Amino acid sequence: MLIREIAAVIEAFAPLAWQEDYDNAGLIVGRPEDEVHAALLAVDVTEEVLDEAEAEGCDLVITHHPIVFRALKRFNSADYVQRCVERAIRRGIALYACHTNLDSAPHGMSWQLAESLEIGELCVLQPAERLQLAACGSWADGIGAEVGFGVVGNLPEPVATMDFMRRMQRLLEVRCVRYSDLVRPEVRRVAVCTGAGASLIGDARRAGADLYVTADLKYNDFMTPDKALVVADIGHFESEYCAIRLLFAVLSKKLLNFAIRKSECSRNPVNYLV
């Protein structure tokens, strides 16, 4: 199958026009007309993931995070980015990333995470006014959702805040949850944003959330809620591991005769001493 045919399926769900200005989503290594035989889905391109791709005969690696964010001025194997790009080119492995466009797509990343936590009645937390849902094409039929970052919704019934966070930790296999003061003894309305979501704390507060789940919070971010809600940081990788499941669902629905594998070597680069 041609790379452009696979990319077309992804981009019908999450058009590249929906990525942020700083991003580098899309085809990073390879040519649209190249033929590929199997795809490996991962969170990041790493040397371990490329080992897995070669061992499994996958000549396309689709990740959430782009391996290249900034322009590469040299290719001399000085760091893992250069080594991975060099290796992919030499071995004929195409690299494709679906990043902030997948974050902001209706039923994208935050939707996946929220639904796994049994949060229902979801709506977008921070709509992106400049983006039009019509670009979704057939994927938008009947969705009625906005483009934007994060979601907010309700649990079936109120749950003790600590009980919810322990359950979340278990379901998502999170090693460590960092959280602010438990100013809400129970939670019913929960906001979620995968990845670095500190900038949406105000949106979560305005949406009436009791708890906001995200990642990459800094010290002062835990004070920002000012006793209006609880914020919880579950870790960047942990919040975005659902990308593999989401991309598999998008691709397998349309590409019935193309081999797609979920990476078993996609791992968190952050280690915890607990």
Q: Do domains 3-101 and 105-239 have the same CATH topology?
A: yes
Residue 62 has a pLDDT of 99
User: Count of residues for the chain?
Assistant: 274
Name the pLDDT band for 130 (thresholds 50, 70, 90): low
Q: Would the pLDDT of 44 be above 90? A: yes
Paired tokens of 254: 């349309």
pLDDT digits (tens, 9 = 90+) for 186-216: 999 999 999 999 999 999 999 999 999 999 9
Chosen CATH of 3-101 out of 3.30.200.100, 3.10.110.10, 3.20.20.370, 3.40.1390.30: 3.40.1390.30
Q: How many angstroms separate the CA atoms of 203 and 200, rounded?
A: 5
Contact in structure between 52 and 263 (CB atoms under 8 Å): yes
Residue 144 has a pLDDT of 57
DSSP string, 161-207: HHHHHHHHHHHTT-S--EE-----SEEEEEEEEEEE-GGGHHHHHHT
To the question of domain 105-239 being in CATH 3.40.50.2000, the answer is no
pTM score: 0.94
Residue 242 has a pLDDT of 98
> Comparing 3-7, 63-67, 71-75, which segment has the lowest mean pLDDT?
71-75
Mean pLDDT for the chain?
Answer: 94
Residue 145 has a pLDDT of 75
